[in-house]
Amino acid sequence: KTISPNGSKLDEDEKQRILILNPDFVTLRSDLLEQEKVTPRSKIIALFLKFTVLMFLNIKLGGGDEDHESSWGIECGSVAFWVVHIIMIAFLVASAWAAQTYLINRHEIKEIVNYDYVE
């Protein structure tokens, strides 16, 4: 079943409406095939930035002993300690949600243009 970005399933009428709005079906399909030939640099940069943000927050949080104290003065178990952890968790959840939304929308486009998957 094909699912729209808002989570509802698309019926055949909706698919046809999308194709009517974009009558250049061949161009849409060929553009998609061209995009799939290479790894997009933007996706690699996004993953690197996510990793960097989490590593930065962990390093600034410190290790808890005298040799690895927080450069922000955060003590283990303090309110600031838990706030930073909640920020990291929220960042991970938001990143996962953004990736899921992107993948669902991408799959939707592939379904509309009858994309041939490699088996």
**pLDDT score at 69:** 80
The CA-to-CA distance between both ends of the chain, in Å, stands at 19
Evaluate whether 32 touches 115 at the Cβ level (below 8 Å): yes
What percent of the chain lies above the pLDDT cut of 70?
Answer: 76
pLDDT tens digits along 88-100: 999 999 999 999 9
Residue 29 vs residue 1, higher pLDDT: 29
**pTM (whole model) above 0.85:** no
pLDDT tens digits along 8-45: 556 677 666 666 666 566 677 778 888 888 888 988 99
